[in-house]
């Protein structure tokens, strides 16, 4: 019998890469998707097969992490061996506009799932998508024992979820792991996160379709890695003998300005002639500098990043240039790796 995984947030950036990797490892993957009036499975379409095909190992189920009854029913019916909880309102800037919903989905969502697992009595290993945003104002390098000082409703919600996973591990002996993931990016990154916003806009400027790009704080520094490396670490955590919490990061930080500069140079563009600062993109409280120390993951899981910052920027720029060319030529859009 194949191992069964239940993935929340399956339609997101991380969910799509994780699903690919789990299917390649022979898993049966069950993903939770939200009902939407338009299609929201674009990142999964290349993996999806007609459910009438018996051999399909990817199944999608409607659900919402704010609906504990539904999540408990899915857990009971599917009895997953592993559960990857990736669903969240994941945008930091947006969390200042909708703090209550963010706390509900991103924070309470984890309590709902862990309480359902306990009450339903499912034997499963649980992955919690924790975030470097929990460190917030704590200076780098950030490690597992660095104090949390979140700077947004999103960060506060992730701290609550982090400690919930630790608490269920300590109280009930459940196999719960926190991946404290630093920023990870890819051509599948949501279009409103800064890296993708930049590469997408540069492709349009390059093609003569856009004249201005409005950004916020260019001085913020982030530790940016390549997403498939990070989704692989999620799986590795759940295969480890003991549950634990792991920082996953490259150990290198760069400013938004450096990202922009490198991406523009790749296309031979002078960004200073078309980028303008718009204060609407500033945050009420900023996280200035994140740079993780992933020594524990390297030591205990044998994990290390495989893609450099320069290669990541180049890959994202080239993918957006290709995507735009396909769109303009009316070709079926290919999902890039």
Q: Which of ligand NAP, ligand F7E, none does residue 194 bind (CB under 5 to 8 Å by kind)?
A: ligand F7E
Residue 45 or 191 having the CB closest to ligand F7E: 191
- Closest residue to ligand NAP: CB criterion: 12
Q: Whole-angstrom distance between the N-terminal and C-terminal Cα of the chain?
A: 29
The answer to whether 240 contacts ligand F7E (rule: CB under 6 A) is: no
What phi and psi values does residue 208 have, to the nearest 5 degrees?
80, 20
Catalytic residue among 90, 116, 130, 131: 131
**For residue 255, how many other CB atoms are within 10 A of its CB?**
16
Q: 270-281: b or e for each residue (b if 16 or more CB lie within 10 Å)?
A: ebeebbeeeeee
Minimum distance, C-beta of residue 212 to ligand NAP, in the bound complex (Å): 26
Torsion of CA 203, 208, 214, 217, to 10 degrees: 40
Minimum distance, C-beta of residue 45 to ligand NAP, in the bound complex (Å): 13
Minimum distance, C-beta of residue 15 to ligand NAP, in the bound complex (Å): 5
Chain positions contacting ligand NAP, by CB under 6 A: 8-15, 32, 34, 36, 40, 64-66, 86-90, 105, 129, 131, 181, 183-184, 190
Minimum distance, C-beta of residue 182 to ligand NAP, in the bound complex (Å): 7
Secondary structure tally for the chain: helices H, strands E: 11, 13
Q: At what angle do helices 256-266 and 194-206 cross, to 10 degrees?
A: 30
- Asked if 133 contacts 287 with a C-beta cutoff of 8 angstroms, the reply is yes
The 8-class DSSP code of residue 6 comes to E
- Structure tokens, 101: 């919903």
The answer to whether 257 contacts ligand F7E (rule: CB under 6 A) is: no
Residue 72 or 205 having the CB closest to ligand NAP: 72
Window 287-316: residues binding ligand F7E (CB under 6 A): 287
Q: Which positions ≥6 away from 23 have C-beta within 8 Å?
A: 29, 47, 57, 58
Does 28 participate in catalysis according to the annotation?
A: no
Q: Which of ligand F7E, ligand NAP, none does residue 264 bind (CB under 5 to 8 Å by kind)?
A: none
Tokens 């990016």 belong to which residue? Answer: 185
The answer to whether 216 contacts ligand F7E (rule: CB under 6 A) is: yes
Contact set with ligand F7E (CB under 6 A)? 90, 92-93, 131-133, 182-183, 192-194, 197, 215-217, 220, 222, 256, 281, 283, 286-287
Q: Which residues are catalytic?
A: 131, 133, 154
């Amino acid at each position: 019998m194949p191992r069964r995984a239940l993935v929340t947030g399956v339609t997101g950036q991380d969910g799509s890469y994780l699903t690919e990797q789990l299917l390649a490892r022979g898993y049966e993957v069950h993903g939770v998707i939200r009902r939407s009036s338009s299609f929201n499975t674009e990142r999964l379409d290349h993996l999806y097969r007609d459910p009438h095909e018996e051999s399909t190992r990817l199944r999608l189920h409607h659900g919402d992490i704010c609906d504990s009854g539904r999540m408990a029913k899915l857990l009971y019916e599917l009895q997953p061996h592993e559960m990857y909880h990736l669903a969240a309102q994941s945008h930091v800037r947006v969390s200042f506009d909708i703090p209550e919903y963010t706390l509900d989905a991103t924070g309470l969502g984890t309590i709902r799932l862990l309480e359902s697992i306990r009450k339903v009595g499912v034997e499963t290993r649980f992955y919690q998508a924790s975030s470097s945003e929990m460190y917030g104002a704590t200076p780098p390098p950030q490690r597992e024992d660095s104090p949390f000082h979140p700077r947004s409703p999103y960060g506060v919600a992730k701290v609550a979820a982090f400690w919930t996973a630790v608490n269920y591990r300590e109280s009930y002996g459940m196999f719960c792991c926190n991946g404290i993931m630093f920023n990870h990016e890819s051509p599948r990154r949501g279009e409103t996160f800064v890296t993708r916003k930049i590469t997408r806009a540069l492709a349009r400027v390059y093609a003569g379709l856009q004249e201005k790009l409005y950004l916020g704080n260019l001085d913020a520094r982030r530790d940016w890695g390549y997403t498939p490396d990070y989704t692989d670490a999620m799986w590795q955590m759940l295969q480890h003998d003991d549950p634990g919490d792991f920082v996953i990061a490259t150990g290198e930080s760069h400013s938004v300005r450096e990202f922009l500069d490198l991406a523009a140079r790749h296309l031979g563009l002078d960004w200073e002639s078309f980028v303008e600062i718009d204060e609407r993109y500033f945050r009420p409280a900023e996280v200035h500098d994140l740079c993780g120390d992933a020594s524990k993951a390297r030591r205990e899981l044998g994990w290390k990043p495989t893609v450099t910052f320069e290669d990541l920027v180049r890959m994202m720029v080239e993918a957006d240039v290709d995507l735009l060319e396909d769109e303009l030529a009316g070709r079926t859009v290919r999902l890039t790796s």
